[in-house]
């Protein structure tokens, strides 16, 4: 029974459990675009088998307005959101953490460009420590990315080194400096 309870709390594993991975979750941006009105987006949350909390950072994942190059008027009218919102032609609302991940990656690239001497782990630390917290998504235990605050952060000196692997063979597992895992 205790194993079952443990598994009920576990919702993610795999690549998200690696210390060098930045796990990304999402928030639903309210149509008024006020951060305090944002709600948590469904998706992976909780702890991995290794005890790491995921997601570590949040980005918009619903009510995103993106270019949608419709080929015909009929295609535009049949899109699930385009006819219901007042958006310019060839734009529609969409959703998914598939969009949240690239937002975080783009923000990380901007931070790295502004702070080229920072390591990948320092960029990760700055992103997480400077994020905007909100009681509406407390259950995610993560904050919304804030690039301006991340640029002001003074990240700790951290690094990941190769870890020896115990077993029949002598081998070393190399941790990648930066990985982005979407869930």
Is residue 101 within 8 Å of residue 1, measured between CB atoms? no
> Distance of CA 61 to CAs 8, 75, 139, 144, Å?
25, 23, 16, 11
Tokens linked to 54: 């995921």
The tokens describing 6, both together, are: 């443990």
Q: DSSP code of 132?
A: B
Contact assessment for residue 14 and residue 46, using Cβ atoms and an 8 Å cutoff: no
Residue 59 neighbours by CB distance under 10 Å: 25
Structure tokens at 70: 């419709």
Q: How large a percentage of the chain has pLDDT more than 90?
A: 27
3-state secondary structure of 164: strand
Contact predicate 34/2, CB 8 Å: no
- Reply yes or no on whether the pLDDT at 28 is more than 50: yes
Q: How many other CB atoms are found less than 10 A from the CB of residue 23?
A: 26
Nearest to 122, CA basis, from 150, 158, 146, 149: 158
| Token representation of residue 177 | 């400096």
User: Which domain range does residue 161 map to?
Assistant: 2-182
Q: What's the pTM value of the predicted model, to 2 decimals? A: 0.72
Confidence band, pLDDT 50/70/90 cuts, at residue 53: confident
Q: Is the bond preceding 55 in cis, omega lying within 30 degrees of 0?
A: yes
Least confident of 5-9, 20-24, 75-79, 153-157: 5-9
d(CA 146, CA 133): 10
Average confidence (pLDDT) over 133-141 = 85
Structurally, how many domains does the chain consist of? Answer: 1
Write the DSSP assignment of 31-87 as a string of letters.
Answer: TT--GGG-EEPSS--EE-TT--EE--EEEEEEEEEEE---SSHHHHHHSSSGGGS--
**pLDDT tier at 175, thresholds 50, 70, 90:** very low
């Amino acid at each position: 029974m205790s194993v079952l309870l443990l598994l009920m709390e576990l919702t993610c594993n795999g690549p998200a459990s690696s210390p060098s991975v930045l796990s990304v979750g999402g928030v639903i941006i309210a149509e008024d675009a006020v951060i305090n009105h944002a709600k948590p987006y469904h998706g992976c949350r909780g702890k991995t088998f290794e005890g790491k909390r995921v997601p570590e950072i949040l980005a918009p994942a619903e009510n995103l307005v993106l270019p949608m190059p419709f080929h015909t008027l009929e295609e535009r009218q049949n899109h699930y959101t385009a006819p219901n919102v007042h958006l310019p032609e060839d734009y529609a609302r969409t959703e998914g953490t598939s969009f949240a991940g690239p937002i975080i990656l783009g923000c990380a690239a901007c931070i790295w460009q502004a702070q080229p001497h920072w390591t990948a782990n320092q960029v990760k630390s700055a992103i997480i420590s400077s994020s905007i917290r909100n009681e509406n998504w407390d259950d995610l235990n993560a904050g919304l990315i804030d690039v301006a605050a991340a640029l002001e952060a003074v990240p700790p000196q951290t690094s990941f080194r190769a870890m020896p692997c115990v077993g029949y063979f002598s081998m070393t597992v190399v941790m990648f400096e930066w990985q982005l895992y979407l869930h």
